Chain A
Amino acid sequence: MFIIVAISVILFSIGNEKINESLTGGLFWVVIFFTAMSGLSRAFVSEEERGTTLTLQLIASPTVVFTGKLLFNLILVFCMNTVIALLYSAMFESFVLKNFGLFLATFILGNIGLAVASTIIAAIISKAGAKGTLYPVLSFPILLPLILTSVQLTLFAFDGTSFETAKFELAIVVGYDVIITTASYMLFDFIWKD
């Protein structure tokens, strides 16, 4: 629902104006970011609200719990963002991909980074009082390098830039994914054990 509302608001606000590729790429990742903020925190918050965290601690190791929650968020992120990408390609004239392979690589790597970072932040904020406010506030600085690089790579995909030219930005996203995944698995044990 959030996706439909966000895209509808953008379409109504631009009216008949034709927006350029830079703005389309930026808005595409803005919608992805806020969609993630509205849905991904539930993985741990719902356990905390129902009071089942203790039960989960008693039946599985922290690594298993984190992997399970991460898989759930990965599936959710890929489903939501595929819908966003399809709606963008149908609704925005400037959403024309000249290098689909590069866009696909950006989409996959960006979604992995988004899901991992969102999952570990959800675990951190699940024990806090103001979860709803804290989640986007804490997520923004952590996700900013990923979002900015993904926007740049999306623009490269619009321009038809080759993989060779975009390899520096791709390396940043791959590095981000590796670092955030490693740090999350190392941190989770401490977060989970209070």
Chain B
Amino acid sequence: MNNFSLQAQTLSKLFGRRLIFRGINFNWSGNGIFGVSGPNGSGKSTFVKILAGLISPSEGNIIHSLDKDVIVSDKLHNYIGFVSPYLILYEEFSAWENLKIFSEIRAIEFNEKKITELLDKLRILNRKDDLVKTYSSGMKQRLKFVFALMHSPKLIIFDEPTSNLDDEGKETVYSIIKEESKNSVIVLASNEKTDLSYCNEILYLEKFKA
């Protein structure tokens, strides 16, 4: 059982005078897949970045806790996995080098077995020593899943996880999401009906525009 919880209190975000959303409250905990949906420009990416602690909300706050202990913002990155099309890994390094450097910066053990399994599952193991800049956009997207899962995070945020992927890649991603939801809180931001069909609960951002 996952003891991680994510709690939002009157969350609002404005860019200048432009309101993105206002007054979002929720408490997501345990194991489950929580969806975030809304039309283009509704603030899905902004919302998930706030959840990941990458940007600050204009009002309200977000509380991450593990076993009822609040996680301080300085340590938050150790508990979060993040996949999105706008995430860019170091293209001048190979996939393997990227993952090794990330482990070193995080000061965690480089789990070669787990990473090999993930690369194999996402079908990029045979290209692990190639520079990331030689990858197709779909392969880069697959690598981001390894990046997000390599440190066994308690909160995994997928922002449009199936973008750039072929049908076989999408199926792999859905199986990963289902598997990871047994041990982690999953937040899935998407407009795709198939993506959202895996969610236990969906937050529609357009409801928080007023």
Residues of B near A61 (CB, < 8 A) are: 73-75, 77
Residues of B near A26 (CB, < 8 A) are: none
Do A60 and B106 touch (CB < 8 A)? yes
Q: How many residues of B contact A (CB 8 A)?
A: 21
Do B87 and A55 touch (CB < 8 A)? yes
Query: Chain A interface (Cβ within 8 Å of chain B)?
Result: 50-52, 54-55, 57-64, 189, 193-194
Do A55 and B88 touch (CB < 8 A)? yes
> Residue-by-residue, is B34-56 near A (CB-CB < 8 Å gives 1, otherwise 0)?
00000000000000000011111
Residues of A near B86 (CB, < 8 A) are: 51, 54
| Contact (A57, B54) CB under 8 Å given A62-B74, A64-B105 | yes
Bound-state Cα–Cα, A50 to B90, Å? 8
Do A51 and B106 touch (CB < 8 A)? no
Do B55 and A194 touch (CB < 8 A)? yes
Task: Tell me, yes or no, whether B158 is within 8 Å of chain A by CB.
Answer: no
Do B77 and A58 touch (CB < 8 A)? yes
- Which of chain A's residues has its CB closest to B81's CB? A58
Task: Tell me, yes or no, whether B205 is within 8 Å of chain A by CB.
Answer: no
Task: Tell me, yes or no, whether B120 is within 8 Å of chain A by CB.
Answer: no
Task: Tell me, yes or no, whether B96 is within 8 Å of chain A by CB.
Answer: no
Do A52 and B90 touch (CB < 8 A)? yes
Minimum C-beta distance from B112 to chain A (A)? 18
Residues of B near A51 (CB, < 8 A) are: 86, 88
Task: Tell me, yes or no, whether B4 is within 8 Å of chain A by CB.
Answer: no
| Contact (A58, B90) CB under 8 Å given A63-B74, A64-B105 | no
Do B88 and A193 touch (CB < 8 A)? no
Do B91 and A50 touch (CB < 8 A)? yes
